[in-house]
Chain A
Amino acid sequence: MISLEEFVKNIELEIEDLEPGELTAEINYRDIETWSSMYALIIIAYVDSEFNVTLSGDDLRKCNTLKELYFLIKSKV
């Protein structure tokens, strides 16, 4: 699996509305000003298509940072 840094960068690129560096491994992604259900859909679809891991809305809710999410995915790969 790709590194945490690459994971964060890829999600930032997939979301498209974000400035480079706006998303980090440590920040609570819900604190991003423009956070919406669309971002959740994009993350779920990206993870499904890249790692063949199905995340639920609950998984996203339980995690606060991309770092937590990354290790959750890693445990499911």
Chain B
Amino acid sequence: MNKTPFHLHGKTIFISGASSGIGRQIAISVSQMGGRVVITGRNQDRLDETFKSLSGSGHLTVLGDLTDANQRDNIIKQLPQLDGVVMNAGMVQAYPIKFMTLEKIKETFSINYDAVVLLIAGITRNKKLNKGASVVFISSISSNFPPKGGSMYSSAKAAIESFSKVLALEHYTQKIRSNCILPGMVKTALYEDVEKVITKESLDAHIAKYPLGIGYPEDIANTAIFLLSDASRWITGTNLIIDGGCILNA
């Protein structure tokens, strides 16, 4: 029915961290493009709110904390066969290097790295990825252009970008693709968390560096749709920067 490859009809897409921000918008946009979505998050009410905003039918919610091994296994068990995965769940924390502790490293890495890697491991081990599936990791421009205090977040994102390339290598025989999206500053609740940590003044100064202004979740969702669709079938192992031109000024 669709001659254009720019759609997601007939595809089942799993999205982590879908109860807010970029993840919620990706879920909504994927459903609007004809995809069936499976969303996960830690908060039932907020996840339900995302679920109610979805277009079409047949969608699923799976509640759970990805950093907890039992809950993660339970999530993997409940997943149907997938044509796409968007790894979006994450958190940001600002801490100077000289104060770093193992505990701080673990706080950032457990959700931004360990949980992502182990979830992908479980999904692939259980053969939940269909042939030709597309995996999209939401990274950050801070992997290459880190801010002060961002050692752990930026390192975890850089690690995910390397991980994505290895995933692309290990699974290309099944035509499975893996790519990263590297957003600049996007207006979400995470942004408001950053605002609390680094003060509004320094955040405003950062936003002033964006030629096209601050980004919105839709901007990231539209790119995710492209990478999940067959329109990008020859793209794998890449990092796509979406930053309103921010790094032009870096």
* Partner-B contacts on A (CB < 8 A): 37-38, 40-42, 44-46, 48-49, 56-58, 60-61
Contacts and interface: CB of A to CB of B under 8 A. Distances in A.
A37 B99 contact: no
Interface in B176-198: 195-198
Contacts of A49: 99, 101
A40 B203 CA distance: 13
A37 B148 contact: yes
Contact of B99 (A38, A40, A45): A45
Contacts of A40: 198-199, 202
Contact of A57 (B96, B99, B148, B200): B200
Contacts of A58: 196, 199
B226 interface: no
> Which A-B residue pairs are the 4 nearest by beta carbons?
A57-B199, A45-B99, A37-B202, A41-B149
Given A37-B202, A38-B148, A41-B149, A56 B197 contact: yes
Contacts of A44: 94, 197
Nearest to A43: B96
B210 interface: no
Contacts of B200: 57, 61
Contact of A56 (B95, B99, B196): B196
Interface residues of B, number: 15
Contacts of B198: 37, 40-41, 57
A42 B96 contact: yes
Contacts of B95: 41, 45
A48 B196 CA distance: 15
A56 B196 CA distance: 6
B102 to A, nearest CB: 13
29 contacts: A37-B149, A37-B198, A37-B199, A38-B96, A38-B148, A38-B149, A40-B199, A40-B202, A41-B96, A41-B148, A41-B149, A41-B198, A42-B96, A44-B94, A45-B95, A45-B96, A45-B99, A46-B99, A48-B99, A49-B99, A49-B101, A56-B196, A56-B197, A57-B195, A57-B197, A58-B196, A60-B199, A61-B199, A61-B200
Given A37-B202, A40-B198, A41-B95, 6 more contacts: A38-B148, A40-B202, A41-B148, A57-B196, A61-B200, A61-B201
B207 to A, nearest CB: 14
A60 to B, nearest CB: 7
A77 B195 CA distance: 24
B145 to A, nearest CB: 15
Contacts of B202: 37, 40
Nearest to A45: B99
Nearest to B197: A57
Nearest to B195: A57
Contacts of A45: 95-96, 99
